[in-house]
Every structure is written in C-alpha cells, then in structure tokens.
Amino acid sequence: MAEIPERDRPRERLIKRGPKVLTTRDLIAVIIGRGTRGRGVLAVSEEIKKVFDERKQEVTIEHLMAVPGVGEAKACQLLAAFELARRFRDQNEGFRISNPEEVLRLPDVEMIRHRQQEHFLAITLNGAGEVIHARTLTVGLLNASQVHPREAFADAITDRAAAVVFVHNHPSGSLEPSAPDLAITRQLMEAGELLGIQVLDHLIISKNGHRSLKLAGVL
C-alpha cells in the first residue's frame, strides 16, 4: 500500500467519502489490508475479485488460497465479509410493500441509486405484499432486447410470486422516463397480465429522487 499516494488509498478514500465510491477491487483491498512482497494489495485484490466473479456463491477457502498472497486468515476474512453481506441482503425478504416509498427502503434499491451504470431490478412479492426476493436482471444501457419478459418473469414464476415491482436507476440524475423505459414497461405489463403476475410499479431512481411510472399514469 505504501506505493500508492495516501489520498488514493482505498481505506483513506472510504474514510473521507464512504464505501459507495470504492470499486469492488478497492473494497477487497480494504478487507485484506496489504499485499505481499513484490505484489501490491491492488494486484492481489484484482485476482480475488476474479475468483468471486467466476465462482459467485460457490467460492471456498481453497479457491481463495489458490490466489498468490492469500493465506488462510485472509481467505477467512473474505468469506466472512461475503457471508455478512449476503445476510444483510436477505433482509429484503419479508419486507412488506404497499407504496413506492417503501420500495425505496430496500437495501438493493438504495444500493443502485448512485451507480454509474444502469441497473434493472425485479422485486418479487407474495400475496401479502411481502418481498420474496430482489434481483438484478441487467447492468448497462436498457433496451428491449436486454430486459426480455422471459428473463424478467422467470424468477417470479419460480418464486410463485403474486406481483412484481421493477426498479432501475438513471446515472444521469434525470427522472424522466425514456422511450425505451416506456416501451419496456408496457411490454412487461402485457407479459404480467398473461402470466397472472401483477406489475405493481416501475420506479426510476437517481441521486435526485425517484419517479413512479404508476403514479405518472404509465401503468
């Protein structure tokens, strides 16, 4: 870490600006603290990130320890942090939604508000309006080919959901729905009607607030 100017070090940036400004690599660097002789912490962190990208939920201590510079202690730290994040993520489950403001309180929704890429989420709910799961369907510029009803409702069917709420962010800060936003919303509404899964709302969120397409009269 000594080779990195102090103002650019992940831990210092986290302290000054908060964890949301850090990349995944930088967050891993904060957790492991240091690299090894000849290999800086950022280089080691980048390899660890690749392991998580490839293995997802299947990462084990052995996978992490295969990265040069990661011993048993660091591997345990990483898996503990990963499991803690997963448990907090699961706090979405059982959360009851009855209006757009309650959707905004979900950790997964708040997490994408300031992202620099568009994230499209599907939140499935049971008949009592309780959250079953919140999932990211796509990352990147939205268009009709990316958010296909087949993928959008596949998990809702698996969850035996009664309803779904869609949410995506606008990195630009604008809350105005684009033409693709409106087209996707209408397409998803039609698919939901055919499947018997109600589309309760489609929210656009940004650093400047949120907009409900239901309240705007689109749904």
| CATH number where 102 lies | 3.40.140.10
Among 41, 15, 16, which Cα is nearest to 26's?
41
Is there a domain that residue 194 lies in?
yes
Asked if 117 contacts 139 with a C-beta cutoff of 8 angstroms, the reply is yes
Domain's final residue, options 55, 90, 125? 90
- Do 111 and 198 fall into the same domain? yes
- Do 111 and 178 fall into the same domain? yes
- Do 172 and 114 fall into the same domain? yes
Is there a domain that residue 219 lies in?
no
Distances (CA, A) of 9 to 14, 29, 96, 163: 9, 9, 40, 44
Range of the domain at 40: 6-90
- Do 29 and 105 fall into the same domain? no
**The predicted structure's pLDDT at residue 144:** 47
3-state class (DSSP) for residue 197: coil
Among 125, 83, 68, which Cα is nearest to 102's?
125
**The predicted structure's pLDDT at residue 7:** 66
Domain's final residue, options 61, 90, 119? 90
Give pLDDT tens digits for 94-107.
Answer: 677 878 788 888 88
- Do 108 and 204 fall into the same domain? yes
Number of independent structural domains in the chain: 2
Is the backbone of residue 98 left (phi > 0), alpha (psi -120 to 50) or beta? alpha
Is there a domain that residue 132 lies in?
yes
Residues 6+ apart with CB under 8 A from 12: 6
Question: How many residues does the structure list for the chain?
Answer: 219
Rounded distance between C-alpha atoms, residue 117 and residue 46, angstroms: 20
**The predicted structure's pLDDT at residue 143:** 56
Give pLDDT tens digits for 2-28.
Answer: 556 666 788 888 888 888 778 889 999
Is there a domain that residue 1 lies in?
no
Distances (CA, A) of 177 to 27, 81, 183, 192: 33, 37, 10, 20
Domain's final residue, options 37, 63, 90? 90
